Amino acid sequence: MSLTEINVTINGKAYAEWVEPRMLLSDFIRETCGLTGTHVGCEHGVCGACTISMDGAAVRSCLIFAVQADNREIKTVEGLACNGEMTALQKNFVECHGLQCGFCTAGILMSITDFLEKNPQPSTKEIKETLSGHLCRCTGYDGIVKAVQKTVQDNQKEVLQRS
Amino acid sequence: MKPAKFDYYRPKDLPEALSLLESSGFDGKIIAGGQSLVPIMNMRLATPECLIDINGLQDLNFIESDDHVLKIGTMTRQNTVETSQLIKDQCGLVTEAVAHIGHLQTRNRGTIGGSIVHADPSAELPLVMMALNGTLHISSEDETRSVNAEDFFLTFLTTDMMPNEMLTEVHLPIWKGRVGSSFQEIARRHGDFALVAAACQLELDAHDRISDIRLALGGVEAIPLLIGDAKELLAGERLTDAALQKVADVVAGSVEPESDLHASAAYRTQLAKVLTARVVHQAYERAKG
């Protein structure tokens, strides 16, 4: 078994590990690094549960090999909160009932965080289009859409207050 | 679901990648975005012994154009293509089609070249390449050649490329004048592979008569289907309801889709007819401005 050394930064922390080339990034994050906030659902890129941020872009970690993350910067759901304080999006998921069992939540948070950075004032249609990359079997998506909409409104208010 | 073992190589430049591909013979496989390859590796439908990762080949990540040709490097991410103003201005059909590929999360990683060489019969980029008869630039260690899209796609998931060859860039013709295009598809869910997709680009003369038209459909045959008769039927004419009906009927008569779990052959034929009328009409209206 040939192993390759990789250096990856996850949530600001540097990891240097030896991995088999076939190890999926999702398994590396969960099993090697012990960051079990990232969930693994379908393992073929359909369900979106394993979505993480790599170099600032939301991607499926089950469709990337750990060796490909060498020298890359990764953020997982554990890296969203700052000093124990949840982001506005996370708080709104709680407030708007954006989750029930929570299995899909980590992936959705990572996608929407990336999405709102690139598109701070999305339409409901655009929000739903982005959520189409995630399967949620509990909520019916309604609470999730509301949580995202409320975050957009909160962010706008904050911008207005600052100006 | 874990992939089988493989050896992993990360070449630094194109010659090294092509040399690795040559030496690995039939056992080697290029990985770019991996959004089609890794799922089938996870399911062990593909078990390449040697994976050559071209993500480090930044020379293959570009979008540029001259007067007549839009050139896109094979490693350009679909999301980069989708948001490129240059592509939107010069070849809007590509921009419209790319938005239908998978989801934001897969477009962030998936590449233009990867989708084309995977050659899924209902995928968007192969259809656009066929609709515009783009040119594929292919390299092996010893040779560089180019193939037109009309000769590139052979059958399901199969192209004209040999195991020692790699797609390096795609060229698309830039149409000038009163040009309109349209891409539409029907899928069960947003982001799923299309049951049927249709792409049309046309040009009008000063009197709103169609001077050139390209029309192609995806999901109805093993490869994207070019409707060569479209030009014969519509060139020199203004678009009327009768003409639209005629071209839709010709399409319905010339497709032979298969039935599967997702849709019957009859439903796909109906979709081909309806989508043909929609894309030709929309492209025409857009060209009129």
The verdict on B148 and B183 lying in the same domain is no
Helices A88-95 and A105-118, interaxial angle, to 10°?
130
Give the mean model confidence (pLDDT) for residues A29-56: 97
Number of domains forming the structure of chain B = 3
Give residue-wise pLDDT tens across range B222-271. Answer: 999 999 999 999 999 999 999 999 999 999 999 999 999 999 999 999 99
Question: Residue A76 and residue B124: Cα distance in Å, rounded?
Answer: 31
Q: What is the pLDDT of residue A1?
A: 57
Q: From the CB of residue B200, how many other CB atoms can be counted at a distance below 10 Å? A: 29
Q: What is the DSSP letter of A24?
A: B
**Is B85 contained in some domain?**
yes
According to CATH, where is 1.10.150.120 located in chain A?
88-162
Take residue B60 and report the two structure tokens written for it.
Answer: 């293959």
Question: What is the Cβ-side half-sphere exposure of residue B14, based on CA atoms within 13 angstroms?
Answer: 19
Question: Residue B83 and residue B89: Cα distance in Å, rounded?
Answer: 11
Question: Residue A105 and residue A112: Cα distance in Å, rounded?
Answer: 10
Q: Say yes or no: B61 contacts chain A, CB-CB below 8 A.
A: no
The verdict on B137 and B200 lying in the same domain is no
Q: What is the pLDDT of residue B101?
A: 96
Question: Which of A45, A67, A115 is facing B35, going by the closest CB pair?
Answer: A45
Query: Hey, which residues does A36 pair with through a beta bridge?
Result: none
**Is B83 contained in some domain?**
yes
The verdict on B75 and B167 lying in the same domain is yes
Give residue-wise pLDDT tens across range A85-94. Answer: 999 999 999 9
pLDDT band of A7, cuts 50, 70, 90: very high
| CATH superfamily name and code, A4-79 | Beta-grasp domain (3.10.20.30)
Q: Say yes or no: B207 contacts chain A, CB-CB below 8 A.
A: no
The verdict on B188 and B224 lying in the same domain is yes
Residues of B in contact with A133 (CB under 8 A): 102-106, 191
Residue B170 contacts residue B139 (beta carbons within 8 Å): no
| Span between the terminal Cα atoms of chain B, in Å | 51
Q: What is the CATH number of the domain that holds B46?
A: 3.30.43.10
Residue B176 contacts residue B271 (beta carbons within 8 Å): no
Q: Hey, are the CB atoms on A44 and B103 less than 8 Å from each other?
A: no
> What average pLDDT does chain B have?
96
Residue B103 contacts residue A107 (beta carbons within 8 Å): no
Question: What's the ipTM?
Answer: 0.94
> Which residue in A has a C-alpha nearest to residue B40's C-alpha?
A44
Q: Hey, are the CB atoms on B51 and A21 less than 8 Å from each other?
A: yes
> Which residue in A has a C-alpha nearest to residue B35's C-alpha?
A63
Q: Say yes or no: B1 contacts chain A, CB-CB below 8 A.
A: yes
Q: Which domain holds residue B264?
A: 178-288
Which of B154, B173, B192 is the last residue before a domain boundary? B173
Q: Hey, are the CB atoms on A130 and B104 less than 8 Å from each other?
A: yes
Q: What is the CATH number of the domain that holds B202?
A: 3.30.390.50
The verdict on B31 and B114 lying in the same domain is no
Give the mean model confidence (pLDDT) for residues B197-224: 97
The verdict on B69 and B166 lying in the same domain is yes
Residue A154 contacts residue A115 (beta carbons within 8 Å): no
Which stretches of chain B are DSSP H helices? Answer: 14-24, 37-42, 78-82, 85-90, 92-98, 104-107, 112-118, 124-132, 149-152, 229-234, 241-254, 265-288
Q: Say yes or no: B38 contacts chain A, CB-CB below 8 A.
A: yes
> Which residue in A has a C-alpha nearest to residue B48's C-alpha?
A22
Interface test with A, best of B35, B80, B103, B189 (most A CBs within 10 A): B103
Which one, of B186, B143, B190, lies nearest residue B162 by Cα?
B143
Question: Residue A92 and residue A105: Cα distance in Å, rounded?
Answer: 12
Q: Please name the fold of domain A88-162.
A: DNA polymerase; domain 1 (1.10.150)
Give residue-wise pLDDT tens across range A18-28. Answer: 999 999 999 99
Q: What is the pLDDT of residue A158?
A: 87
Q: Say yes or no: B12 contacts chain A, CB-CB below 8 A.
A: no
Q: What is the pLDDT of residue A162?
A: 85
**Is B1 contained in some domain?**
no
Which of B52, B72, B87 is the last residue before a domain boundary? B52
Which one, of B168, B155, B180, lies nearest residue B32 by Cα?
B168
**Is B2 contained in some domain?**
no
DSSP for B60-119 reads G--EEE-SSEEEEETT-BHHHHHT-HHHHHH-HHHHHHHTTSS-HHHHTT-BHHHHHHHT
Which stretches of A40-120 are DSSP H helices? Answer: 88-95, 105-118
The verdict on B205 and B156 lying in the same domain is no
Take residue A111 and report the two structure tokens written for it.
Answer: 């996608």
Interface test with A, best of B80, B105, B108 (most A CBs within 10 A): B105
CA distance, residue B41 to nearest chain A CA (Å): 9
Write out the residues of chain A at the interface with chain B, using a CB-CB cutoff of 8 A.
1-2, 4, 20-22, 24, 27, 43-45, 48, 51, 57-60, 62-65, 67-68, 70, 111, 114-115, 128-130, 132-133
Take residue B144 and report the two structure tokens written for it.
Answer: 């560089």
Q: Hey, are the CB atoms on B103 and A1 less than 8 Å from each other?
A: no
Asked if pLDDT for residue A144 goes beyond 90, the answer is yes
Q: What is the pLDDT of residue A159?
A: 87
Task: Look up residue A8 and give its amino acid.
Answer: V
Question: Residue A115 and residue A130: Cα distance in Å, rounded?
Answer: 8
Question: Which of B8, B104, B106 is facing A45, going by the closest CB pair?
Answer: B106
> What average pLDDT does chain A have?
96
Q: Say yes or no: B6 contacts chain A, CB-CB below 8 A.
A: yes
Q: Hey, are the CB atoms on A21 and B7 less than 8 Å from each other?
A: yes
Question: Residue A5 and residue B55: Cα distance in Å, rounded?
Answer: 18
Residues of B in contact with A24 (CB under 8 A): 2-3, 42
CA distance, residue A161 to nearest chain B CA (Å): 31
Residues of A in contact with B190 (CB under 8 A): 128-129, 132
Question: What is the Cβ-side half-sphere exposure of residue A93, based on CA atoms within 13 angstroms?
Answer: 20
Give residue-wise pLDDT tens across range A102-139. Answer: 999 999 999 999 999 999 999 999 999 999 999 999 99
What percent of chain B shows pLDDT beyond 70? Answer: 100
Q: What is the pLDDT of residue B191?
A: 85
Question: Which of B1, B34, B189 is facing A64, going by the closest CB pair?
Answer: B34
Take residue B117 and report the two structure tokens written for it.
Answer: 């060489």
Which one, of B194, B257, B196, B202, lies nearest residue B231 by Cα?
B202
